[in-house]
A and B are shown apart, each in its own frame.
Chain A
Amino acid sequence: MSEQKIDGFELKPGFKGMASDTGSDQTMFKGVHWGKAMMWIFLLSDTFVFSCFLISYMKGRGSTIVDWPNTSEVFSLHVGGVPVPLLLIAIMTFVLITSSGTMALAVKYGYEKNRKMCGWLILATAVGGLTFVGMQVFEWSKLIHEGVRPWGNPFGAAQFGSFFFMITGFHGFHVSIGVIFLFIYTYKVFAGHYDSKKRGWFTKMKGDYVEIEILGLYWHFVDLVWVFIFAFFYLW
């Protein structure tokens, strides 16, 4: 990155720049919005939550007394009588990753103050997220229909259902929270709250387009976590 200036403070690249920022007064991350820094640190903490879940899953799967179910069979969809492994998951993953793309574009248009485009793209992201949650509901009900329960299942180790419902449920909860906020932000963008610096309903703080980037960080994180869950549950 080329050298930048923030309020007369010259930002040097590389390690030297980091050391000089750290040694300076007022802020450590120069020019970074408070909310953005907060979201990064929250995500770091949340990473630890999901890491604990996934490490527990690895430990649990490694030490069961009964064999783990054959995941490519359990997770397959029957299309015209032929089982296609990973079909639903592939679509789900595709939808979620695509929504990350629309989110990134929404942030871009937000900073360009292109209210309409920004609003439509956030709405598209919200719809993508909602589709994902919907497909997860379908997957859950299919598995429940086949007899998979948190406390046991007909295919093998009981922990399969326990970990699957807990971890995908916890992730789905994150997605749902994100979807709710995406819809709220859609309204706020279309209503022009970020242009008029209207104060928030609860926090009474002035709105700004940086909020969309902050929500975007969360959304990308949720997608990234899904990639790990996908790898650990469906490909292992």
Chain B
Amino acid sequence: MSDEYDNNKSYQAQSSEVLDGSAGSINPDMDYVRPAEIPEQDLYHAHSFIEKWIFCQDAKVIGVQYFLTAVFTGIVGLILSWLMRLQLGFPELAGFMTAEHYYQFVTMHGMIMVVYFLTALFLGGFGNYLIPLMVGARDMVFPYVNMLSFWMFFVAVAVLMASFFVPGGPTGAGWTLYPPQTILEGTPGSGMGILLMLISLSLFVIGFTMGGLNYMITILQARTRGMTLMRMPLTVWGIFTATVLAMLAFPALLVSAIMMTLDKVLQTSFFMPTILKAGEVLEYGGGSPILFQHLFWFFGHPEVYIVALPAFGIVSDLISVHARKNIFGYRMMVWAIVGIGGLSFFVWAHHMYVSGMNPWFGFFFATTTLIIAVPTAMKVYNWILTLWRGNIRINTVMLWCLGFIVTFVNGGITGIFLGNVSVDVPLSDTYFVIAHFHMVMGIAPLMVIMGAVYHWFPLVAGKMLHEGLGKWHFWITFLGAYSIYFPMHYLGFIGVPRRYFEMYDSPYMTSAVGMNEFISIAAFIVGAAQFILVFNIIKTLKTGKKAEQNPWKANSLEWYTSTVPPEHGNFGERLPVVHRWPYDFSVPGAKDDFIPQTTAPSEVANTEVEKT
């Protein structure tokens, strides 16, 4: 704030950041923003219904398409989890279910939720809708490729769903698809099921690569005037870093899928050791199952952060807007996101402690895993410090954010348990692990998704979702999710193994039965509660209150479009020019409690606004 603007200085060599005005004095040059260096984007406008709503090149429609497809797969995943809980809690009611069915449900639930639901929803859904709007672009930079990306994803989902209907059913090898058993006879779905799964994953990776290139280049090369990287909303930072991770991690998944497909179809032995089956030596031999685990987790661990980082980014924005306070430590938040992203490539083998490895190797991966807790904890502190003495509005969005922080801390702490080799080994493959990762990368990001839906629905549909229904939705989900996963920590400590169809007469039976019934009932209720949102959306679309422009009084560019909902091209005649970060809330001396990113410094010269 104190640095004086030198009138004789030439503009050229500076980033626009240096050129902002100093507080208190109006200077004719203080509103200067460098002229446009990229030409106006050449947009192809749709001419027919099909071009406008089906094979659409508008990132906003593609975002909604991604969202709806991902939600559809998510509902399938939810139903599978109900079936699993029915078997675990009330096996006498689940007579139709065999052990094979159960394994198939476990596998498909895991894969659907992680890849086809969360990843597609955050990057494909929110990424497509929000990136161009938030950085002030007219669309993604390659709209045609973006359209192909969605349809590739759609085909991937269709192939995945088709595996439910082929002879033998979908694969039942667990979502990690560990060879050799994944493709050996005896594992459910070891025929067509696994083949369709591998094809579907490969299609997903190809489709995602097309989308990911769009997200990255739009953020790097198509920002509007005045939008520096350090003025971007944290949502964009989170999605950007997650996309970088995905571009570098999905190759490992693609390669392992190709190699396993060849093992399955052409009888190669990349991952297949010499196998004795019923006294007979199989054709396979000489391959390395551990190699698959390394490839899979080199993808699999960054995947956790592909889901988590967009959630971190979005929740930061939601908290800041609804607490009417700037995000605490913006730069620290950015560097924490980037740091977590970088570290996530060096921790993968902590998923493999029980596979057997050199103790020094385990030591290394335990260390890197625990180091990740540092930037993560920084983020949690910053969220809390953002809330501290803020003008908090306890609305539905804020409830979901608070729910996220609590759940995330909970899941994060159990992660510290599991990151240590000696603690992990006894807890490995128990319900403790289930509780941990559902808390940290299931429920926590889901809370953010729900908050984001309530937050951005007025922008997407132009109508306000019903608050009362939203609060019911939140409280049932929040309390219900804790009822499901909190007892699971205990089940894990007493040693109940995961992925078991039934416990038979094991000693776990006595103390686990009641708890399993309780968890199952909670799971049914929480799952059903999600349909409150579906009902809310349908009701709102039909009879909901029309939203004013910028109902939350937010600063970021997506709320300052020419129309609500934004049309193709987003910003009408002229692109917005950005003068500040999106977190100028409750600035002392300002007329309103928010200063939009497009407000020029001279308009707020007498306030105590900080230079960003």
Q: What is the interface of chain A, defined by CB distance below 8 A to chain B? A: 5-10, 12, 20, 22-32, 34-35, 37-38, 41-42, 44-46, 48-49, 51-53, 56, 59-60, 63-66, 150-151, 157-159, 161-163, 166, 170, 202-206
Contact = CB atoms under 8 A, between A and B. Distances in A.
A29 B141 CA distance: 15
B44 interface: yes
B339 interface: no
B215 to A, nearest CB: 10
Nearest to A204: B44
B220 interface: yes
Contacts of B578: 25
A28 B286 CA distance: 48
Interface centre among A9, A51, A206 (most CB of B within 10 A): A9
Nearest to A200: B144
A8 B11 contact: yes
Contacts of A20: 13, 15
Given A30-B37, A45-B247, A25 B227 contact: yes
B593 to A, nearest CB: 26
A162 B262 contact: yes
A181 to B, nearest CB: 15
Nearest to B144: A203
B229 A23 contact: yes
B255 A27 contact: no
B590 interface: no
Contacts of B38: 26-27
B209 interface: yes
Given A24-B16, A27-B220, A52-B295, A158 B209 contact: no
Interface in B205-257: 209, 212-213, 216-217, 220-231, 247-248, 250-252, 254-256
Given A42-B209, A56-B291, A60-B287, A27 B37 contact: yes
Given A51-B251, A163-B270, 10 more contacts: A9-B34, A28-B220, A28-B221, A30-B37, A34-B142, A34-B217, A38-B142, A45-B212, A65-B285, A206-B42
Interface string B12-50: 110111000000000000000111111000101000000
Contacts of A45: 209, 212, 247-248, 250-251
A34 B137 CA distance: 13
B98 interface: no
Contacts of A53: 255
Given A159-B286, A202-B144, A203-B144, A24 B228 contact: yes
B141 A38 contact: yes
Contact of A26 (B37, B267, B274): B37
Contacts of B12: 5, 8-10
B269 interface: yes
B268 interface: yes
Nearest to B288: A63
B251 A23 contact: no
Interface in B260-281: 262, 266-270, 274
Interface centre among A65, A66, A162 (most CB of B within 10 A): A162
Given A23-B15, A38-B213, A56 B259 contact: yes
B221 A29 contact: yes
B610 interface: no
Contact of A151 (B141, B220, B251, B267): B267
B318 to A, nearest CB: 25
Contacts of B247: 41, 44-45, 48
A53 to B, nearest CB: 6
Given A7-B37, A166-B258, A26 B251 contact: no
Contacts of B255: 49, 52-53, 56
A63 B217 CA distance: 41
A32 B221 contact: yes
Contacts of B283: 151
B13 A151 contact: no
Nearest to B274: A65
B221 A56 contact: no
